[in-house]
Amino acid sequence: MAVVAERAFTSRSTLQRIEAGDTTVSIGIYAGVLQALGLLDRLTQVADISNDSVGQALASADLPKRIRLKPASGSSRDG
């Protein structure tokens, strides 16, 4: 734990907070720890929507069921 903390430029207590799931730890600290562990390339998976089935379902539920286009004002159909 001491080696990872040193390589991530953070403290052992911060690592313990990360392990405990403390949400107040900054994303920069997480990135440093992932870099120290050789896992930084996996950080892109965090924001990948394809990994978030719940988020996709919630976003789909918010979409309108039907869209009606309003005719443009001031235009005529005669051309």
Task: Kindly report, residue by residue over 18-61, the tens digit of the pLDDT.
Answer: 999 999 999 999 999 999 999 998 888 877 888 888 888 888 88
- DSSP for residue 26: -
Position 2 pLDDT exceeds 80: yes
Both structure tokens of 9 = 């430029």
For 5, the 3-state DSSP assignment is: helix
Terminal Cα-to-Cα distance of the chain (whole angstroms):
74
Could you give the residue ranges of the DSSP H alpha helices within the chain?
2-7, 12-19, 27-36, 53-61
Q: Vertex 78, ends 75 and 79: CA angle to 5°?
A: 70
Q: What is the pTM of this model?
A: 0.57
